[in-house]
Amino acid sequence: MSNNQVQIFDTTLRDGEQSPGASLNIDEKVEIARQLERLGVDIIEAGFPISSPGDFEAVRRVAATVSDRITICGLTRAVPKDIDVAWDALKGAKRPRIHTGLGVSDNHLQHKLKKTREQAMEIGVNAVKYAKSLGCEDIEYFTEDSGRADKEYLYRVIEAVIKAGATVINIPDTTGYMSPEEYGALFAGVLNHVPGSENIILSAHCHNDLGMATANSLAAVKAGARQVECTINGIGERAGNTSLEEVVMALHTRRDIYQVQSNIVTTEIYKTSRLVSTLTGILVQPNKAIVGANAFAHSSGIHQDGILKQRDTYEIIDPATVGISESKIILSARSGRHALRDRLSKLGHEFPNDTDFERVYARFLNVADSKKVVYDEDLDAIVSDETSTAPQAFELVQVQVSCGDHAIPTATVKLRNAEKAILLDADTGNGPVDAIYRAINRIVQVPNDLIEYTVQSVTEGIDAMADVTIRIKAEGDMIYTGHSAHTDIFVASTKAYLQALNKQIARVSGRKQEERILEHV
């Protein structure tokens, strides 16, 4: 690899999915992996194979799906069993990587691992040697909590695992504790004090607890890191991970400072952001850099005047560079299929299956009749709703609500189950949505707790579509996300809840199937 090339390691499917409520099914993970391939990432960390049968299958499917150009990585603890399972999941990959390691801070050694420094280092070295003995040539070693570790011990660990066969060293700021100056100096210190470090790749992995994940990652690149680990939209545990789009566009826009480049196809950034947001149910804040709704919006008259005269008076990035079209086609009920398909294509939605497109077109006509003008944001919501890969144990046939100032909120719900039977029930509640969910629960009878209900307007105006995201918690503290958009807020609320319930039902059914298989093993 050229010294002016930075590899982009995407961990959306592993670290990003650890965001509370961001659970993805296997088909959704494969869909994101295919988009990451189009985006041009170098490495996809597809999951933590030993953590669950679902994660194992997701890693296996991703490994068998994406192109030979991309390295597929599986995370493990520094335990032979973990490494065995990861290697098994990765056997379909042309470029497999095992990512293993241990904590190096005294805090982690004493309180988490309960090991001495020497014991932990020996375990780590043995893990690398074991992965290598299986035939794995690409081994990444993470030194967890490097930001709070004793530097001399960190240097010793890195030197030892390099000698054992590690090809990439991940030096993570696990708790988001460091400043850019400190983090950059950490990489410079490794390169200056660790023999052999110049022959392997040093990787930056930052968390955003103090809002400095992007700045820290860029400081590491300036100091010699040639791999950056990040997630789409910066999702991840706690305050999230380094944002892929921010790092990539900083490197792209300020080549004069960083003097490196990546393989990312920047025009795929926005499309990837929207896909991840839709499938995880985690909304992108409007003022988010690069991909937020307001990132290229101008409300000030002075700014508008400047932009109209010369775009770069107020924009340092051309929106087209990240895949955002400045033009808007106003679609209405009078628009035909050709106009709709063309606009959807420009928004990044392709339909190899005509059945999917016809479903979207029919829904588009209904929305256009309701709100006269259909905007790009409405189209994204329609496509998300009508092409969801969530399993369908139950689907909505009809919902009817009665409520008012002096009325008892009452809802009647008609559902169709997988056997095409029609099921009808009604209930009352504290409000109309509560009544709907109680009526559904009487039919479905799957215990859960509603822990989040969010409604947003997709566009402006009194005829805007309601975009509803809900999260439910079931046994084992599993969280399921549902999402739907509709001009009727009660329909959107009903469909979002059913989507979450269908995911819960699918997971429970899958677990029972696994148990039946195990009983006969």
Q: Which positions make up the binding site for Mn(2+)?
A: 15, 205, 207, 241
**Could you tell me if 239 and 346 lie in one domain?**
no
CA 29 to chain centre: 9
Q: How many domains, in total, are found in the chain?
A: 4
**Could you tell me if 41 and 185 lie in one domain?**
yes
Q: What CA–CA distance (Å, rounded) separates 434 from 456? A: 18
**Could you tell me if 309 and 183 lie in one domain?**
no
517: pLDDT confidence band, cut at 50, 70 and 90? very low
**Could you tell me if 135 and 202 lie in one domain?**
yes
Mean pLDDT of the chain: 89
Residue 290 domain flag: no
**Could you tell me if 268 and 132 lie in one domain?**
yes
pTM: 0.77
Range of the domain at 368: 327-386
Cβ-contact 415, 430 below 8 angstroms: no
**Could you tell me if 43 and 147 lie in one domain?**
yes
Residue 519 domain flag: no
Cβ-contact 468, 454 below 8 angstroms: yes
328: pLDDT confidence band, cut at 50, 70 and 90? very low
**Could you tell me if 109 and 239 lie in one domain?**
yes
54-102 residue pLDDT tens: 999 999 999 999 999 999 999 999 999 999 999 999 999 999 999 999 9
Residue 291 domain flag: no
**Could you tell me if 439 and 495 lie in one domain?**
yes
Other C-beta atoms lying within 10 Å of the C-beta of residue 517:
10
302: pLDDT confidence band, cut at 50, 70 and 90? low
Cβ-contact 361, 337 below 8 angstroms: yes
36-48 residue pLDDT tens: 999 999 999 999 9
**Could you tell me if 109 and 15 lie in one domain?**
yes
CATH code of residue 93: 3.20.20.70
Terminal CA-CA length for the chain: 47
Q: Give the pair of three-digit tokens for residue 424.
A: 């009808």
**Could you tell me if 14 and 29 lie in one domain?**
yes
**Could you tell me if 236 and 356 lie in one domain?**
no
**Could you tell me if 315 and 241 lie in one domain?**
no
Residue 504 domain flag: yes
7-23 residue pLDDT tens: 999 999 999 998 877 87
